[in-house]
Amino acid sequence: MHCLRCNRELVTGQKSVALYMFAQTVGIKPRQKSMAHRISFCPQCSVSLAMGPPPEGALNMAAWDMIRDLVASDPALNRAAWESMGGVSGLLPATGTDGGPRSAQPGGYFEF
Ligand SMILES: [Zn+2]
């Protein structure tokens, strides 16, 4: 599985958001059901999408609403996004956190 937005590989057990989609006929006999498709987003893309502007297209809009619902209802998904961001920033040099001079970080905080 790959994140639909950033194409990052999502291994089994990794935190992600899965969207399942299938089509089904209504009021038509015999009732037909399409194969179910699974679309995955990594936590960062989920949060980023939810915070971003509404996408174009009715289907995208429906998916956006669902992701926003998840992001808004519990902070766990936000935490997962921050955890994976921490994993990335952990690869950067630890300036200021290794007991060295802090002059390299005048602000002392991150700005987004
Ligand atoms: Zn992603």
**Cβ-proximal residues to 110 (8 Å cutoff; 6+ apart), any chain:** none
What is the identity of the amino acid at 20? Answer: Y
Residue 4 has pLDDT above 50, yes or no: yes
Q: Report the amino acid identity of residue 70.
A: L
Q: Which tops the pLDDT comparison, 108 or 58?
A: 58
Are 3 and 16 in contact, with CB atoms under 8 Å apart? yes
**pLDDT band at residue 84, thresholds of 50, 70 and 90?**
confident
For residue range 36-52, what is the model confidence (pLDDT) as tens digits? 999 999 999 999 999 99
Q: How many CB atoms lie within 10 A of CB 96?
A: 13
CA of 48 to the centre of ligand 1 (A): 9
Q: What's the CA-to-centroid distance between 41 and ligand 1, angstroms?
A: 5
For residue 94, is pLDDT > 70?
Answer: no
Q: Work out the widest C-alpha separation in the chain, in whole angstroms.
A: 74
Higher pLDDT pick, 108 / 75: 75
C-alpha 34 to ligand 1 mean position (Å): 26
- Strand ranges in 23-91 using DSSP code E only, listed in sequence order: 37-41
Does pTM top 0.85 for this prediction?
A: no
Pairwise pLDDT comparison (75 vs 96), residue with the higher score = 75
Arithmetic mean of pLDDT over the chain = 84
pLDDT > 60? residue 28: yes
Q: How far is the CA of 9 from the centre of ligand 1 (A)?
A: 9
